[in-house]
Structure 1
Amino acid sequence: MVDISLPDTNYSLLIENLVAGYERRVLLRNLFLKVPTSSFVAIVGHNGCGKTTLFRALTKQLPYEGDIWLAGHTLRSIRRPAAEGLLAYLPQRTTVGFPIRVRELVVMGRYRQHGLFSTYSTVDYQMADAALTRVGAAHLAEQDFTLLSGGEQQLVWLAQLSLQDAPLYLLDEPTQQLDVYYRRRVFDLMQVWVVEHHKTVLCITHDLDNLLALSGYLLNLSHPQPHLEALTTDTVRAAKEFLEASPV
């Protein structure tokens, strides 16, 4: 398929008339969205409104109708968006079923450069150490990942994610089941990615209270006409009241 490029590079993600869902249930219908480059977007909504479905469409895990452009290129021309470096995705549930040192898990974020089970270089390990330092988890480098707390594990996943160095990051409930300290830490890290590293971050969350300190946008997929709103005290309060009401 011919790769159709868009002339406007001010948006890292454009969606037009997106329809996506499952065999007997459409969860996203006629969604239009323009996400500016280097921005943070908090995605909220009732359970079952299509938040994770949106991410599965963007990562091509799910068929969809409509048009999606990532970094100016149509998604239909891209076989594997993550493998080709256009996005990095942290699902809601990510587990490791075998003992592994934290440093070894983080360096796997360099898999696009070498292959997932390739031998990593000294430079790769230096980058892994630097990533752990940035998330405040350098002291965990030699520990067994499976023995860490939930908050510590999430910091390690974020360190690995940062090594993928994609323009667009997708995070599905990254603060779920974390205590107050780690929630704040995770949101702070996402802001650093946007402000200092010029990434675009889409984050599915139910943690509206922590959004008040952030700069970016809010997308309520439960709204009859979902659209980006600036993250302000008023918009967060309105979204919270909307979501605390009965699902529509």
Structure 2
Amino acid sequence: MIVEVKNLVAGYEQRVLIRNLSFSIPAPAFLAIIGHNGAGKTTFFKAFQHKISYKGQILIQQHDLRAIPDAAATGLLSYLPQKNIVSFPIKVHDLVVMGLFRKKRFFENYSHEDYEQAAAILNQLELSHLREQDFTTLSGGEQQLVWLAQLMLQDASLILLDEPTQQLDVYYKKQVFRLLQQWVQQQSKTVICITHDLHNLLPMQGYLLNLSKPAPVLEPITPESVVQNQEFLEAGRPKL
């Protein structure tokens, strides 16, 4: 199994957001986490990162996360938050190569080979023309693709993305979702993606998990399941 979640209960002192959630992903796949605001989507990711206490089990490749203080350091998972802010000038290739920082010793410099890896990723994403550009001058869509390039360089088995297409235009939304599908199909990565962008799920292959439903289960992504879940969310919050 790539990911197993067993009887997960998570939330905060006065409010439990996730109750008895169980599912498994047996092979590399794309999983969209959907639901109303406050349904527990970000809380779910916090459990993966030891940022919130929880009951139940989360396993990645049969490893119980409770026994792994820093899963990112082991190469099991990588995470891209909703917002990454860079407030100082930095060239794109210098930002991307930082994806290797967990593999470097303290104060060890990035090598020529490291930069070659970063260049190969940028070329794969058709971003080579941005290598020498100041990251802070790029458009929002270009910046997001650069962050994803850095994530690719980390080469983790499981990738967690928190609304990666938020505030992107139609073109870049399609580019990002196409890239995520390639990660699964060509590189055998498992991608779990929080999103409100159901329309762009239509061409995807994988699953969705609606945390607003009383008993969330993995549903194959199909035109019918996307429409049904869109209508469910538009109808308002269910009364529990």
The 1-side partners of 2:105 and 2:200 are apart by: 37
The 1-side partners of 2:6 and 2:140 are apart by: 37
The 1-side partners of 2:26 and 2:86 are apart by: 34
Q: How many matched pairs?
A: 238
Give 1:71 shift.
1.3
Which amino acid counterpart does residue 7 of structure 2 have in structure 1? Answer: N
Equivalent in the alignment of 1:208: 198
Deviations 1:185-237 (A, max 9, x none): 00000001000000000011111111111100011111111110110010000
% identical aligned pairs = 58
Give 1:116 shift.
7.4
The 1-side partners of 2:27 and 2:16 are apart by: 29
Task: Report SS of the residue matched to 1:213.
Answer: coil
Which amino acid counterpart does residue 31 of structure 2 have in structure 1? Answer: V
The 2-side partners of 1:25 and 1:201 are apart by: 28
For the Cα contact (< 8 Å) 1:108–1:116, is it kept in 2? Answer: no
Please say if 1:114 is aligned against 2:100: no
Give 1:64 shift.
1.1
Q: CA separation of 1:108/1:220 partners in 2, compared to 1, >3 Å: closer, same or farther? A: same
Equivalent in the alignment of 2:236: 246
Task: Report SS of the residue matched to 2:191.
Answer: strand
Please say if 1:51 is aligned against 2:31: no
Task: Report SS of the residue matched to 1:93.
Answer: coil
Give 1:59 shift.
1.3
For the Cα contact (< 8 Å) 1:92–1:174, is it kept in 2? Answer: yes
Which amino acid counterpart does residue 16 of structure 1 have in structure 2? Answer: K
Equivalent in the alignment of 1:220: 210
Aligned positions of 1:152-191 closer than 5 A: 152-191=142-181
Give 1:36 shift.
2.5
Give 1:118 shift.
3.1
Mean Cα displacement is larger for which, 171-180 or 28-37? 28-37
Mean Cα displacement is larger for which, 35-44 or 235-244? 35-44
Which amino acid counterpart does residue 212 of structure 2 have in structure 1? Answer: S
Aligned positions of 1:27-176 closer than 5 A: 27-115=17-105, 118-176=108-166
Q: CA separation of 1:123/1:236 partners in 2, compared to 1, >3 Å: closer, same or farther? A: same
TM-score, scaled relative to structure 1: 0.93
The 1-side partners of 2:161 and 2:124 are apart by: 18
Give 1:94 shift.
1.1
Mean Cα displacement is larger for which, 28-37 or 189-198? 28-37
List structure 1 segments (4+ residues) > 6 angstroms apart after TM superposition: none
For the Cα contact (< 8 Å) 1:111–1:117, is it kept in 2? Answer: no
User: Unmatched 5+ residue regions in structure 1?
Assistant: 1-10
TM-score, scaled relative to structure 2: 0.96
Task: Report SS of the residue matched to 2:225.
Answer: helix
Mean Cα displacement is larger for which, 106-115 or 158-167? 106-115
Q: What is the RMSD of the two structures over their aligned residues, measured on CA atoms?
A: 1.1
Task: Report SS of the residue matched to 1:175.
Answer: coil
The 2-side partners of 1:35 and 1:98 are apart by: 40
